[in-house]
Structure 1
Amino acid sequence: MILAVDVDYRDSGAVVAGVGFEDWSAPDPEQLYRSKIESTLTYEPGAFYKRELPCILTLLEEHQIETELIVIDGYVFLGEEQRLGLGAHLYSALQQEVSIIGVAKKPFKDTPAEAELLRGKSVKPLYISSLGLPLTEAKLLIQTMHGDHRIPTLLKRVDRECRKSTQ
């Protein structure tokens, strides 16, 4: 299974969601997961992973999700220097057994041009990074995802799911 994840921060906590799917071109997920996180760290510039990584790991553990690849909202590597981003830290936390694709909506300082991916009729690129599979393959997989617009349908869906209340 492939898992796309996203986190929505609320007050001092967060809601993390995941959509599971087998087919990259699927319009709908096969599985939906959501976990409420009572307390998160505050945002630290340049160290976003410290805030988001525990949320993703909680979702995986709480729902006992087994996956071969995770798509995150963000970067695996940051900038031209390829500093470790959220995706690289997630890859390490999962003992380098699960491939990670980062899909970012905004460029990080000095993001290399090869990270850019145009989808649909958009002139504004997505920024793709990966670990566990080549960047060219990661870009092709994101390109083939369902949806006629810049953001693939399932990535929009996981964004909506994390914004829902968990009560």
Structure 2
Amino acid sequence: MELLSIILLKVWCCRNDWMHKGISFDVNEVVWWSKNYAEEIHRFWSSRGHGVTTEGRRREEVDDRWRPPEHGILKINCDIWMDKRRKMGYGIALRDGGGRVLWCSAQGCEANFDLDCAKAMAIYKGLCVGRNMGLVNYVLKSDSETVLKQIWTGGISKADHGGILDAI
């Protein structure tokens, strides 16, 4: 069921690319991407000590690191995924204090840049979501500690992702 859900998400994204950008897609690529994404999810949760079974491939626990924001504040979470073939994807989720997803988006693309650039792009897109929705009271969270530290300290414009940091 999990793999089917991921495949359907990818097909929907490909459909949107085809309808709005005229970009065609290969079914084999959709299946490959979906399997790889599912494996990445399982590696992620396994590396954090959460039980992932091969039969049901279900998480037995909820990630206890996620904390709701203070009352009246929304939370934007950003994350990226990059594989060895230089394909990347990023996801953004907007949640309320109860953890309910109010808005989310995921997109994939070819990655002609390094991991920190991809992380900076996801954070930038997350901030754009907040700005474009007119949000005032929100926090942005990401597991990209290096990039976040560079943003808070003024960035490193000479880095490959310096232009993105400057835009933030």
Max radius of gyration: which structure? Answer: 2
Normalized per residue, the structure richer in strand is: 1
TM over 0.5: no
User: Scaled by the length of structure 1, what TM-score is found?
Assistant: 0.37
Normalized per residue, the structure richer in helix is: 2
User: Scaled by the length of structure 2, what TM-score is found?
Assistant: 0.37
Comparing both chains, which one has the higher relative contact order based on Cα–Cα distances under 8 Å and sequence gaps of 6 or more? 1
